[in-house]
């Protein structure tokens, strides 16, 4: 049983005890979205997995600085010299920064609906151009990058004489270097394995900046090296992202950091697995990239109904972050039922009858829950233990098991910690009822207003008094009538 947190470090391909470089502080960097369109729920799964990790670290008492970037400089599309953000801007006839703003706001709203905590710092690539140019220059000065026709490339062959390019992804550098297929058609490179640190901008390219090498824009991997170092230091605890980012993105980040700052930047690399559809990675290009909005509205040919944000979050947490999760209506419907059962049971804890002794052990449940979370954030096992508690709660209610009042209180606290703080779930039913109460109150206040307008003061006073007796205090002010729940 794990009594201390252990995490799977993808770099060493093993589970390791989590020992921050400078406890109780923890630095965590997660690659954020490229803001050129709405995120799909595959992206949301990755950010939800890191929200769980962030929440659990906070719950354990660590002081976490969580940095998640916004990629607002588009990467080049494979087959053109146009980047995704500029393409969207051209198609919609708006500024690239309008595209960026629109989808950054949308991303925040989406993650808010999934009850994800905002990161401590959310830096943008365009806000760190100076630092990126500086890092490129440093790597050139160290003889590990070269300029070629207005672009700058990382020299993988030179770097590999000192370091192991491929250490994270397990790729073989000789194979990479002998790969003659040149995907971008970049004849400027000395070697097909070399990657761009800075790209020369073609005249039609909109997002471009001045640099010592002429007008251009930074390579894809550069921003994360620069921003993680700026806000977390040259060495920090956790770097995360989806598994699809291991190569080339994270491999290149390590190479840039080692070349530029001469330090191995990250102690624990955490990679989340993919949300799949029929076993294939969910992707917009395959028509399976369902957006959160479509899911919440039930508005997609693959959906048989709408699902609430918490149902979707619960569905995601029922799989371990390192396992693939296959999207299906059946699984979401099961999650909807399961979540309801969990919340209903939680809401009845306070009403349980107290006994002189307990026949079930809350302490043991607590140990099992923390052991699951300490075992590389194993949320599906933790949820399975929560359902054990649901079973007991129902048995105690029926008088078939017993709990003392102290144990009832301990169970209440334990479940609240796990359900709300760690798993980050919300009780949508109670949210829903508060909305209903508000709607009802607005209606009653309107009736009272009408009574007053008709000079029926007996009725308007009667409404006020009855509401007061029910625990609602009414105040008439300049802006209209407001109420508070006493
Ligand atoms: P992007 O905006 O494409 O860079 O993606 C943002 C994050 O979502 C990255 O960490 C990706 O690894 C992750 N991601 C993309 N597709 C999926 C998927 N189908 N399932 C889980 N994570 C994904
Ligand atoms: Zn990144």
Q: Report how far ligand 1's centroid is from the alpha carbon of 327 (Å).
A: 15
Average pLDDT (291-296) is 94
Q: Report how far ligand 1's centroid is from the alpha carbon of 355 (Å).
A: 50
Q: Do the beta carbons of residue 412 and residue 371 sit within 8 Å? A: no
| Residue appearing with tokens 């079973």 | 391
Supply the CATH classification number for the domain 6-272: 3.40.50.620
> Cα(171)–Cα(192) distance, rounded to whole angstroms?
14
Average pLDDT (170-185) is 76
User: Is pLDDT of 108 > 70?
Assistant: yes
Give yes or no for residue 281 CB within 6 A of ligand 1: yes
Query: Distance of alpha carbon 467 from its chain centroid, rounded?
Result: 43
Q: Report how far ligand 1's centroid is from the alpha carbon of 34 (Å).
A: 10
Which protein residue's CA is at the shortest distance from atom 8 of ligand 1? 43
User: Is pLDDT of 6 > 60?
Assistant: yes
Per-residue model confidence (pLDDT) at position 204: 83
Per-residue model confidence (pLDDT) at position 240: 98
User: Is pLDDT of 183 > 80?
Assistant: no
User: Is pLDDT of 99 > 80?
Assistant: yes
Give yes or no for residue 224 CB within 6 A of ligand 1: no
> Cα(261)–Cα(350) distance, rounded to whole angstroms?
56
User: Is pLDDT of 477 > 90?
Assistant: no
Q: Which residue has the higher pLDDT, 436 or 213?
A: 213
pTM: 0.88
What phi, psi does 301 have (nearest 5°)?
-55, -25
Per-residue model confidence (pLDDT) at position 430: 75
> Cα(126)–Cα(2) distance, rounded to whole angstroms?
43
Return residues with CB closer than 5 A to ligand 2 (ion). 31, 224
Q: Report how far ligand 2's centroid is from the alpha carbon of 56 (Å).
A: 22
Ligand 1 atom closest to the Cα of residue 33 is 2
Q: Which residue has the higher pLDDT, 169 or 202?
A: 169
Q: Do the beta carbons of residue 144 and residue 156 sit within 8 Å? A: no
Per-residue model confidence (pLDDT) at position 100: 95
Q: Report how far ligand 2's centroid is from the alpha carbon of 207 (Å).
A: 19
| Shortest-distance ligand to the CA of residue 107 | 1
* 276-428 shares the fold of 6-272: no
Q: Report how far ligand 1's centroid is from the alpha carbon of 358 (Å).
A: 47
Which one, of 302, 305, 382, 387, lies nearest residue 340 by Cα? Answer: 387
Per-residue model confidence (pLDDT) at position 237: 98
Domain ranges of the chain: 6-272, 276-428, 431-485
Average pLDDT taken over every residue of the chain = 93
Per-residue model confidence (pLDDT) at position 434: 65
Average pLDDT (181-205) is 82
Q: Do the beta carbons of residue 88 and residue 36 sit within 8 Å? A: yes
User: Is pLDDT of 80 > 80?
Assistant: no
Q: Kindly report the CATH class assigned to 276-428.
A: mainly alpha
Which one, of 272, 389, 274, 277, lies nearest residue 331 by Cα? Answer: 277
Give yes or no for residue 289 CB within 6 A of ligand 1: no
Give yes or no for residue 96 CB within 6 A of ligand 1: no
Which protein residue's CA is at the shortest distance from atom 11 of ligand 1? 242
DSSP assignment of 275-330: EEETTEE--GGGT----HHHHHHT-STT-SS---HHHHHHHHHTS-TTS-EE--HH
Per-residue model confidence (pLDDT) at position 228: 98
| Residue appearing with tokens 């479940």 | 415
Q: Is 55 exposed, middle or buried (0-12, 13-18, 19+ CB in 10 A)?
A: buried
Whether omega before 24 lies within 30 degrees of 0, making that bond cis, reads: yes
Which one, of 279, 390, 402, 300, lies nearest residue 337 by Cα? Answer: 390
Per-residue model confidence (pLDDT) at position 476: 85
Structure tokens at 167: 């250490």
Give yes or no for residue 266 CB within 6 A of ligand 1: no
| Residue appearing with tokens 């976490």 | 64
Give yes or no for residue 270 CB within 6 A of ligand 1: no
Q: How confident is the model at residue 179 (pLDDT cuts 50, 70, 90)?
A: confident
What phi, psi does 485 have (nearest 5°)?
-90, 120
Per-residue model confidence (pLDDT) at position 76: 67
Per-residue model confidence (pLDDT) at position 35: 94
Which protein residue's CA is at the shortest distance from atom 2 of ligand 1? 33
User: Is pLDDT of 147 > 90?
Assistant: yes
Average pLDDT (147-154) is 97
Which one, of 385, 383, 401, 382, lies nearest residue 393 by Cα? Answer: 401
Give yes or no for residue 42 CB within 6 A of ligand 1: yes
Average pLDDT (73-98) is 80
Average pLDDT (141-148) is 98
Give yes or no for residue 242 CB within 6 A of ligand 1: yes
Q: What percent of the chain has pLDDT over 70?
A: 96
What phi, psi does 132 have (nearest 5°)?
-70, -45
Tens of pLDDT, residues 205-258: 889 999 999 999 999 999 999 999 999 999 999 999 999 999 999 999 999 999
């Amino acid at each position: 049983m794990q009594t201390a947190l252990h995490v799977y470090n993808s770099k060493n391909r093993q589970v390791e005890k989590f020992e921050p470089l400078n406890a109780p502080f923890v630095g965590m960097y997660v690659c954020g979205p490229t803001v050129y369109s709405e995120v799909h729920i595959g992206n949301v799964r990755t950010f939800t997995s890191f929200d769980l990790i962030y929440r659990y670290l906070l719950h354990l008492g660590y002081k976490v600085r969580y940095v998640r970037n916004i990629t607002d400089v588009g990467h080049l599309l494979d087959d053109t010299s146009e980047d995704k953000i500029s393409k969207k801007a051209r198609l919609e006839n708006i500024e690239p920064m309008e595209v960026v703003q629109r989808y950054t706001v949308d991303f925040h709203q989406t993650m808010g609906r999934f009850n994800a905590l905002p990161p401590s710092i959310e830096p943008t690539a365009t806000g760190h151009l100076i630092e990126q140019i500086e890092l490129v220059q440093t790597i050139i000065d160290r003889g590990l990058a070269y300029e070629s026709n207005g672009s700058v490339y990382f020299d993988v062959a030179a770097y590999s004489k000192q370091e192991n390019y491929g250490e994270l992804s397990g790729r073989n550098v000789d194979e990479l270097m002998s790969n003659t297929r040149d995907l971008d058609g970049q004849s400027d490179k000395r070697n097909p394995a070399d990657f761009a640190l800075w790209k020369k901008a073609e005249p039609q390219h909109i997002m471009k900046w001045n640099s010592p090498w002429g007008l251009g824009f930074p390579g894809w991997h550069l921003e994360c090296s620069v921003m993680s170092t700026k806000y977390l230091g040259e060495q920090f605890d956790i770097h995360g992202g989806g598994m699809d980012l291991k190569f080339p993105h994270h491999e290149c980040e390590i190479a840039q950091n080692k070349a530029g700052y001469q330090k191995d930047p990250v102690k624990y690399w955490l990679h989340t697995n993919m949300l799949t559809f029929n076993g294939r990675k969910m992707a917009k290009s395959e028509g399976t990239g369902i957006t959160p909005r479509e899911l919440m509205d039930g508005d997609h040919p693959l959906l048989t109904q709408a699902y609430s944000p918490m149902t979707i979050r619960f569905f995601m947490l029922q799989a371990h972050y390192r396992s693939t999760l296959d999207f299906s209506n059946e699984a979401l419907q099961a999650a909807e039922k399961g979540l309801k059962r969990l919340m209903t049971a939680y809401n009845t804890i306070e009403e349980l009858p107290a006994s002189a002794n307990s026949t079930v052990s809350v302490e043991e449940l607590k140990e099992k829950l923390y052991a699951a979370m300490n075992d590389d954030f194993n949320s599906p096992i933790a949820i399975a233990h929560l359902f054990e508690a649901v079973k007991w709660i129902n048995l105690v209610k029926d008088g078939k098991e017993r709990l003392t009042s102290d144990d009832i209180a301990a169970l209440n606290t334990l479940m609240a910690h796990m359900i709300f703080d760690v798993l980050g779930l919300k009780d949508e039913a109670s949210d829903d009822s508060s909305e209903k109460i508000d709607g009802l109150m607005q209606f009653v206040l309107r009736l009272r207003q009408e009574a007053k307008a008709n000079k029926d003061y007996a009725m308007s006073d009667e409404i006020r008094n009855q509401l007061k007796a029910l625990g609602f205090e009414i105040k008439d002010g300049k802006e209209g009538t407001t109420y508070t729940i006493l």
